[in-house]
Amino acid sequence: MTNQLKTGLLLGLLTAIILLFGQMLGGQGGLVLAFIIAIAMNVGSYWYSDRIVLSMYKAKEVSPSDAPRLHEIVAELAQRAGVPKPRVFIIPQEAPNAFATGRTPKQGVVAVTKGIMQLLTMEELKGVLAHEMGHIRNRDILIQTVAATLAGVIMFVSNMLQWAAIFGMGGNDEEGGGNPLVAIVMAIVAPIAAMLIQMAISRSREYLADQTGAQLAGDPRSLASALEKLDAYSRRIPMQSGTPATAHMFIVNPFSGGSMAHLFSTHPPVQERIQRLRAMSGQGGQGG
């Protein structure tokens, strides 16, 4: 519930920034245009993200006869989660990782790499698949799309505000929207704030998926153990294709190895995730 509340507050903060921009612009026309453009930019991602990302990583759908144990685990977890059984894909890469996609539970997809199936035990793999099932049940694709749309509005309006400040357009002095210096500062600061908020939403959904996954799997320790292995191996064996723009979809960052600051990461620190999971199982922060 805490992560759900956090997500709601962060989405509210993005909305508040948009409303502030509307006041500074001194009219609603710019905001309406920004919303139309942002929605147009993200609607394709919302409707076709599963096809795009599966194609990007050359994922192949597998039947129950191709991967019987994998399908058994997915079917069991889907039943526990109360969602339709997702389609199952395997990515032909050695990098150990997994992701889920699908705009609704009915269109759910789980994909695992060849490497993760070789690295993890069945219990650990079940923990990972439970995490991905958590994303599907929690409708994270929809939430991330809403966040991206709101952030897109802020990016677009900030550009409008910058040009308005340069040419002396936009609100009036009585409304406090006519100060070009304030407008320029807002135009610079707001997009950075929007990006940080969007990434914070992504991190809160990862924590929630960990919590949901631990409950579905019935054992937080298996997911904690899987994350420990994935964190170590993904640094040595990064993805050989794809783009960092899809990094937030994976259970651990598939392109880690850089020194990106925590604030600019789409994933929470893996050690913190492991500690939370072990706390759920009563192990606290002990190593394992």
What whole-number distance in Å separates Cα of residue 190 and Cα of residue 181?
14
Catalytic residue among 132, 174, 206, 228: 132
Does 132 participate in catalysis according to the annotation? yes
Which residues, at least 6 apart from 38, have a Cβ–Cβ distance to it below 8 Å? Answer: 149, 150, 152, 153, 156
Per-residue pLDDT at 159 exceeds 50 = yes
Per-residue pLDDT at 196 exceeds 70 = yes
CA nearest 142: which of 3, 254, 42? 42
CA nearest 68: which of 117, 33, 25? 117
C-alpha distance from residue 202 to each of 37, 148, 157, 265, 278 (Å): 23, 10, 23, 9, 22
pLDDT at 27: 56
- Under DSSP, the state recorded for 90 is E
What whole-number distance in Å separates Cα of residue 108 and Cα of residue 12?
27
* Range in 96-105, 201-210, 240-249 with the lowest mean pLDDT: 240-249
- Mean pLDDT computed over every residue of the chain: 84
| Beta strands per DSSP E along the chain | 60-61, 87-91, 98-101, 109-113
Torsion region of 68: left, alpha or beta (phi above 0 gives left; psi -120 to 50 gives alpha): alpha
pLDDT at 2: 73
